[in-house]
């Protein structure tokens, strides 16, 4: 196989993966907000950690979903606010929910931002970039579109996320049915990419609880988090009452007084684009 042929196959594979993710989140759009309490809490924490920024003329929320984060930001900044998402269904829901806000909604990919070089003062993203083919690709795009001195603020999921569900499946059939998430050490190494003059990382473990195993799986489906990337899809999805009964029995072993936990290992990252003179 030639290098060019391998490259074309890799690009095609990435396109198919992104389309699968877009379709999964579009299907979840109408029910997303009803089950997104954790997502809103993580976004609120990101907002609280942002430094006071003056003179923000253009900001973009990458992976904006139904528009919660970008609408909050638009309330405090008079410039152009852009909500960008790979899933058209999510953008349709965002337009409906935030019709009163002057927000520009754009379909696009985090690793190929449809924005001009040096045209943005603030890039934000919350619980979206873990779906990228690579974090490096997103960081490179953010660095490209940010003006010198501009800010990037994002959250992502790290290793340990959905650990209970992953371990339960391992006991059922030994296959991987849960997406792999980046190790914290690799995240730190990736953030050391050139072009940034400063970064800060805060790690936190968050949990949601549900009354039954079925509720746990329905909650993931409601927010589109049951979408499986190619690397995690070898074992397939739920099939058969017997397999589900085994999975449910195993999930019950983690039950706490408040219900069956689902763990999320959340990284909150702040970065500033290097000034030209540095």
Q: Which two tokens stand for residue 241?
A: 């009452």
**Which pLDDT band, with edges at 50, 70 and 90, does 163 fall under?**
very high
How many domains are there within the chain? 1
DSSP 8-state symbol, 245: H
**Which pLDDT band, with edges at 50, 70 and 90, does 225 fall under?**
low
Can you say how many angstroms the Cα of residue 75 is from the centroid of all Cα atoms in its chain?
Answer: 23
Q: Which two tokens stand for residue 135?
A: 């974090």
**CA distances (Å), origin 31, targets 89, 102, 167, 206:** 11, 24, 27, 21
Task: Kindly report the average pLDDT of the chain as a whole number.
Answer: 86
Q: Which domain holds residue 61?
A: 3-273
More confident residue, 133 or 4: 133
Helix and strand counts by DSSP (H, E) for the chain? 9, 7
**Which pLDDT band, with edges at 50, 70 and 90, does 233 fall under?**
very low
Identify the pLDDT of residue 259.
Answer: 96
CA 102 – CA 234 distance, rounded (Å): 43
Asked whether residue 251 is domain-assigned, the answer is: yes
For residue 14, pLDDT over 80 is answered with no
Asked whether residue 278 is domain-assigned, the answer is: no
**Which pLDDT band, with edges at 50, 70 and 90, does 241 fall under?**
confident
**In 3-state terms, what secondary structure has residue 71?**
helix
Rg (CA), the chain: 19
CA 85 – CA 15 distance, rounded (Å): 15
**Which pLDDT band, with edges at 50, 70 and 90, does 96 fall under?**
very high
For residue 224, pLDDT over 70 is answered with no
Identify the pLDDT of residue 28.
Answer: 74
**Which pLDDT band, with edges at 50, 70 and 90, does 4 fall under?**
very low
Asked whether residue 151 is domain-assigned, the answer is: yes
List pLDDT tens digits, range 177-197.
Answer: 888 899 999 999 999 988 898
Contact 39, 223 (CB under 8 A): yes
Angle at 266 between CA 163 and CA 145, to 5 degrees: 130
CA 144 – CA 159 distance, rounded (Å): 28
Identify the pLDDT of residue 59.
Answer: 98
Asked whether residue 72 is domain-assigned, the answer is: yes
**Which pLDDT band, with edges at 50, 70 and 90, does 8 fall under?**
very low
**Which pLDDT band, with edges at 50, 70 and 90, does 232 fall under?**
very low
pTM above 0.95, yes or no: no
Q: Residue 55 CB: number of other CB atoms within 10 A?
A: 8
List pLDDT tens digits, range 71-95.
Answer: 999 999 989 999 999 999 999 999 9
Asked whether residue 250 is domain-assigned, the answer is: yes
Query: What long-range pairs does 41-44 form, CB within 8 A, spacing at least 24?
Result: 41/206, 42/126, 42/127, 42/155, 42/206, 42/266, 42/268, 43/68, 43/69, 43/72, 43/126, 43/127, 43/155
Identify the pLDDT of residue 226.
Answer: 60
Identify the pLDDT of residue 277.
Answer: 61
For residue 235, pLDDT over 60 is answered with no
Contact 32, 223 (CB under 8 A): yes
More confident residue, 26 or 271: 271
Contact 271, 199 (CB under 8 A): yes
| CATH number of the domain residue 234 falls in | 3.40.50.150
């Amino acid at each position: 196989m030639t290098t060019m042929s391998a490259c074309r196959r890799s690009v095609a594979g990435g396109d198919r993966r992104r389309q699968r993710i877009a379709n999964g989140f579009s299907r979840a759009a109408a029910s997303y907000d009803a089950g997104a309490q954790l997502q809103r809490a993580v976004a609120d924490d990101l907002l609280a950690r942002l430094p006071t920024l003056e003179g923000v003329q253009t900001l973009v929320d990458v992976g904006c979903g139904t528009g919660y984060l970008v609408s909050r930001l638009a309330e405090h900044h008079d410039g152009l606010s852009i909500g960008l998402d790979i899933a058209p269904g999510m953008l349709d829901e965002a337009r409906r929910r935030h019709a009163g806000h002057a927000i520009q909604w754009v379909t696009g990919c985090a690793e190929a931002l449809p924005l001009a070089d040096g045209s943005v003062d603030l890039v934000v993203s919350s619980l979206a970039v873990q779906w990228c083919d690579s974090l490096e690709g997103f960081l490179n795009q953010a660095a490209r579109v940010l003006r010198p001195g501009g800010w990037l603020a994002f959250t992502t999921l790290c290793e340990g996320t959905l650990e209970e569900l992953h371990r339960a499946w391992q006991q059922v059939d030994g296959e991987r049915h849960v997406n792999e998430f980046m190790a914290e050490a690799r995240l730190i190494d990736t953030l050391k990419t050139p072009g940034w003059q400063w970064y800060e990382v805060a790690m936190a473990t968050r949990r949601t609880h549900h009354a039954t195993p079925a509720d746990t799986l329905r909650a993931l489906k409601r927010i589109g988090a049951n979408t499986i990337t190619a690397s995690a899809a070898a074992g397939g999805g739920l099939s058969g009452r017997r397999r589900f009964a085994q999975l449910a029995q195993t999930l019950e072993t983690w039950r706490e007084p408040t219900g069956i936990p689902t763990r999320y290992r959340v990284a909150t990252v702040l970065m500033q684009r290097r000034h030209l003179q540095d």
